[in-house]
């Protein structure tokens, strides 16, 4: 009898503690084990629709229930709905660059243009990868542009200027505990994926490149000092980077034939996977010029990265960037814009397929968003006089027919178009989606409900704390 009474008392005590611990969590939901953030750099609403119309296909992520908007301006700037939809020049000003945009999403704070991982007082702010590591999760960044570019850097580095590529690379590969880093910048190849004798150390400086290729435990930092690379797990023992350059190796890892502990993927191409390849003729439609061979797609890189990250039973955080969407928009190149958005969409599809096959939506949270819009893309030429009345959306000319696309920022003579202060769309699915909704507390005259870009970072940190 005494044993029964004791067991009952123990059960009551356990239940009381359980109720107390769940008091702040009425839904009694666990936080997501995995968080996958996909960023289409420069990918505004019309950039997405340009690809939708060309292929006559609505993307799966566009059908997700949680679809809102995001304001992207940096610290010291603003977004005013009345001004945006009334004054043409307002939307062409006060815009962000990728550095503060990435910082906002990675840290939860807004900062100045060019600044990475620091607040407006230039103080270091913890990013979501560092926070994930405190929870013993794996972390990674994957991009279609050079590894130390602003967006991937925003999730692994802290520096006053985004153009200090060598210092950023040191932080990413020596100091950070990241498990996966993949992107371009290979100094041995040109933009067509061909070997070159004109080696460029703009993104990956020669001394660290030698150390990388030797798979050393000591890398030379940007000052010339040899330093031991970090550990990517809790044992504090330095972990070698496995260098992957060839398509066949990326493909093998993506198929699970071989999975290294720590993956550094640098395809055999210089600046972008495909966007910067030569044009053999005037391109009238996407893929007119064949893709460079022996270079993995973003989808293949994502597949490889997820295979490495999912080995951690505690889960992971990864940022995946379609970075060359921005490059195509800066160049006013509508054809290669569609190519890059399509490649990004394929990567999102790879992620969705991975969740369905290897995880589930109660365990994994997926966010698809941009860092800003590039080019102020519209369907027709607009100016101060017709801005209030002219339709801004693209026209659907049918499958495999290009929409009439006009880039409205920057200089047409220099063929360089700048960012805009437009709202960008965000799509969210999976456990943790509800955390974002409480930040959707502002309203735009045309787009409806929106949030600030740093509130993405705040939501991510809340889910990782």
The confidence score (pLDDT) of residue 415 equals 62
Instruction: Give the model's pLDDT for residue 19.
Output: 43
| Per-residue model confidence (pLDDT) at position 13 | 42
pTM for the full predicted model: 0.93
Which parts of the chain sit beneath pLDDT 50? 1-2, 4-27
Long-range CB contacts (within 8 A, 24+) of 226-230: 227/174, 229/173, 229/174, 230/174, 230/175, 230/176, 230/177
What string of DSSP letters covers 18-71?
Answer: HHHHTTT-TT-PPPPSEEEEEEETT--HHHHHHHHHHHT---GGGG-SEEEEEE
Q: Burial level of 200, CB count in 10 A (0-12/13-18/19+)? A: middle
For the chain, the residue count is 465
In whole angstroms, what is the distance from residue 114 CA to residue 102 CA?
10
Q: Which helix (H) or strand (E) covers residue 219, if one does?
A: strand 218-220
User: Residue 279 class from Cβ within 10 Å (0-12 exposed, 13-18 middle, 19+ buried)?
Assistant: exposed
- Give the Cα separation of 214 and 264 in Å (integer): 13
Q: What confidence tens digit (pLDDT) does each residue in 28-53 have? A: 578 999 999 999 999 999 999 999 99
Domains for the chain: give ranges and CATH numbers. Answer: 30-464 (3.40.720.10)
What's the pLDDT score for residue 289?
95
Give tens-digit pLDDT for 162-220: 999 999 999 999 999 999 999 999 999 999 999 998 878 999 999 999 999 999 999 99
DSSP for 236-295, written as a single string: ------EEE-SHHHHHHHHTTS---SSEEE--S-SS-SSTTSPPSS---STTSSPPPTT-
Q: Residue 298: enclosing H or E segment and its boundaries?
A: helix 298-309
Per-residue model confidence (pLDDT) at position 20: 41
Residue of 122, 201, 214 whose CA lies nearest to 165: 201
């Amino acid at each position: 009898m005494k044993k029964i009474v004791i067991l009952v008392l123990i059960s009551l005590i356990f239940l009381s503690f359980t109720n107390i611990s769940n008091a702040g969590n009425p839904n009694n939901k666990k936080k997501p084990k995995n968080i996958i953030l996909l960023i289409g750099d420069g990918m505004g609403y019309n950039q997405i629709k340009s690809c939708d119309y060309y292929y006559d296909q609505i993307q799966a992520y566009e059908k997700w229930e949680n679809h809102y908007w995001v304001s992207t301006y940096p610290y010291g700037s603003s977004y005013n709905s009345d001004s945006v939809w009334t004054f043409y020049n307002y939307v062409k000003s006060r815009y962000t660059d990728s550095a503060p945009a990435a910082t906002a999403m990675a840290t939860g704070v807004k900062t100045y243009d060019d600044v990475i991982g620091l607040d407006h007082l230039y103080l270091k702010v913890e990013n979501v990868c560092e926070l994930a590591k405190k929870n013993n999760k794996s972390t990674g960044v994957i991009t279609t542009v050079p590894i130390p570019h602003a967006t991937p850097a925003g999730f692994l580095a802290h520096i006053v200027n985004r153009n200090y590529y060598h210092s950023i690379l040191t932080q990413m590969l020596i100091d950070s505990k990241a498990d996966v880093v993949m992107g371009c910048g290979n100094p041995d190849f040109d933009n067509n994926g061909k070997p070159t004798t004109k080696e460029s150390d703009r993104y990956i400086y020669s001394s660290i490149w030698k150390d990388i290729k030797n798979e050393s435990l000591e890398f030379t930092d940007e000052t010339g000092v040899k330093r031991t690379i970090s550990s990517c797990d809790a044992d504090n023992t330095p972990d070698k980077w496995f260098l992957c350059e060839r398509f066949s190796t990326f493909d093998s890892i993506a198929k699970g034939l071989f999975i290294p502990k720590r993956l550094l993927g640098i395809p055999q191409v210089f600046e972008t996977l495909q966007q910067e390849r030569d044009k053999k003729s005037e391109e009238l439609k996407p893929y007119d010029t064949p893709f460079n061979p022996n270079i993995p797609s973003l989808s293949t890189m994502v597949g490889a990265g997820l295979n490495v990250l999912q080995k951690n039973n505690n889960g992971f955080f990864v940022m995946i960037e379609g970075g060359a969407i921005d490059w195509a928009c800066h160049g006013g190149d509508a054809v290669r814009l569609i190519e890059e958005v399509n490649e990004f969409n394929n990567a999102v599809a790879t992620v969705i397929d991975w969740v369905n096959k290897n995880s589930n939506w109660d365990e994994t949270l997926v966010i698809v968003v941009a860092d800003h819009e590039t080019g102020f893309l519209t369907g027709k030429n607009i100016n101060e006089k017709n801005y209030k009345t002219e339709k801004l959306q693209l026209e659907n000319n049918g499958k495999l027919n290009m929409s009439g696309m006009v880039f409205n920022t920057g200089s047409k003579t220099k063929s360089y178009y700048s960012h805009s202060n437009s709202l960008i769309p965000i799509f969210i699915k999976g456990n943790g989606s509800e955390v974002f909704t409480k930040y959707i507390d502002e309203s735009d005259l045309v787009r409806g409900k929106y949030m600030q870009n740093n509130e993405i970072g705040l939501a991510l940190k809340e889910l990782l704390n």
